[in-house]
Structure 1
Amino acid sequence: MTTPSRPVRIGVQIAPQHSDYRAIRDTLAALEDLGVDIAFNWDHFYPLSGEPDGLHFEGWTMLAAWAEQTSRIQFGPLVTCNSYRNPELLADMARTVDHISAKNPGDEGRLIFGIGSGWFERDYDEYGYEFGTAGQRLDALSEALPRIESRWSKLNPAPTRDIPVLIGGGGEKKTLRIVAEHADIWHSFSDVETLERKLVVLREWCDKVGRDPSEIEISTGTISSQTSDRALLDRQLEAGVTLFTLGISGPDLDLSGAKELLAWRDAL
C-alpha cells in the first residue's frame, strides 16, 4: 500500500436528530475518549431521515457548546449552509467558536469550517430563505467565501490560526472550482471510481487557479456497513482519501462503526 501523504484521520458526524441533547453530549465525550480526530454535526433545521418532525437541534449553537466541552478533538459543521447567514456574521461566529475551543493561552482553536451551498428545500421554505436554483446557490457560495476570508482578516481578536475550510459537494463545473480556490479539505460521498474521476477534475481546476492540489485534504463519507470493509477503505486510501467520516444518528447513536474505523487507522 502506498504511504499516505498526510496522517489518516477519522471523523464522526453526530446527526443532531432523534436524540435529546444529553445523548449527543455524552456521545461527543465518548468519541473524544476513543481517539476520534474530528466530530461533525450538520446545519439543518429538520431531520434528514426518519420522522420528518422528530427531535432536532440547531447546529452552530451546538458547536459553541462542543468547543467548551471538549479539549482535544477537532469539530465543525458538515456542512454549514451558506444561504442561512450573512457571510460576515458567519465569519464572526466561526472565529468566536474557534476561540472558545482554545483552552489555554497560546493554544490554537479546533474548529473546522465546513461550508456548502445548501440543498434541503424544507429548511428554506420553513425559515423564509429563498431557495432559488442550485446554480444560484453555488454562485452565492463563490461570492461569500472571499467575504468570509476578508472578515477573518479584520476581526479583533483575529482567529487563533488560519481556520481550515472544508467544502462539501462534487459538482465538476462550479463546486470543484470553488474547492480549488478556497478549500483546505474537500468532502464528498463518491465511490472510488467517481472519486478518481473527480480528483482529475479537481487537479485541472487547481492548475487553472494556480493551486497546489496536494494542499487539499480529501475526505469521504462512510456508512456503517463499510467500516469493516478494510479492502474498500484501503482502496479509498490508495485513491487519496485521508479523512474518513462516519455518520451516526439517534435514537441509537452506535459507536461500533467508529471503533472499527479507529482500529483500521491504528493498524496502518
Structure 2
Amino acid sequence: ILHSQISTIEKQATTATGCPLLVRCKNFQLLQLVIPQERDCHDVYISLLRLARPVKYEELYCFSFNPKLDREEREQGWMLIDLSEEYKRMGLPNNYWQLSDVNRDYRVCDSYPTQLYVPKSATAHIIVGSSKFRSRRRFPALSYYYKDNHASVCRSSQPLSGFSARCLEDEQMLQAIRKASPGSDFIYVVDTRPKVGVTTLVCVFAAPSHGMRDEAMLPDPLREPHLQGGFAQPCMAALLSCLLGPRSSWRA
C-alpha cells in the first residue's frame, strides 16, 4: 500500500491478542494490523501518520524509494528533459522574455517548475498578485515560444471562485504578455473548460463570482473565446494561424 493512499489510521482498544490498528485507504481498502506490544503499536501508528501526511517535500515516498538500480541508472531519468536546453532551443531569453526566480523553492506555485519564463515587464509583485487571483496559484507563464514571429503560448489556471471579479496585477500580467508579443496588437485568452460547465456556472451562480472573468473588464486588445470539443479542428487551425501565419507557411 502506498503511503499516499492511506486516508485514516485508527488505534483501537487493546485485546488479548495485541493492539489493533485499522488503516482505511482512499481506494476503500481496509487493513487491520494486530501488533503484540502496545509500544510497538504506538510507534507504527506515529510512523504511518508521518508517512501518510508529510510536511516537507523531502518526506514524500518518492525521495525514500530505493529501486534495485545503481545510482547512474537512477539518475538517467532526471536527464530525459533538460528544461534549460528546451528554453534555449526556443530562443530564450531574449528582449521580451526573461527567466524568473519568483518560484524558487516552489514558494509561489507548488505545481509549476522553479524555472519559469515571464515577460520582462512583469515584476515579482505583478506575478505574485496574479497567482493569488488564480486557482492553485497558477499564474500565466510561458509554455511555448516561436522565435520566428515572437508568437507565444502561456498557460494558467482559472480565476478563483468568489466575489472578487477583478485583479489589477492579473490584468497587468496579461498586458505584459501582450507587450511581449510584438507581432500582434492583441492576444487571445482562451477558456478550455467544457461549454456546458461554463454555461451552468453563468446561469446558476451568476458568474464571474465563480471562477469566471468578466470579459467587460478586459482591455480591448484582450479577447476571450471558448474552445469547445465540437470545434477542436477549427480552433486548432486558428491557433496554428496565430503562431505560424498563413497555412502555406506551416511547418512540421
TM-score by length of 1: 0.25
Name whichever structure is richer in helix by fraction. Answer: 1
The higher relative CO (CA closer than 8 Å, separation ≥ 6) is in 1
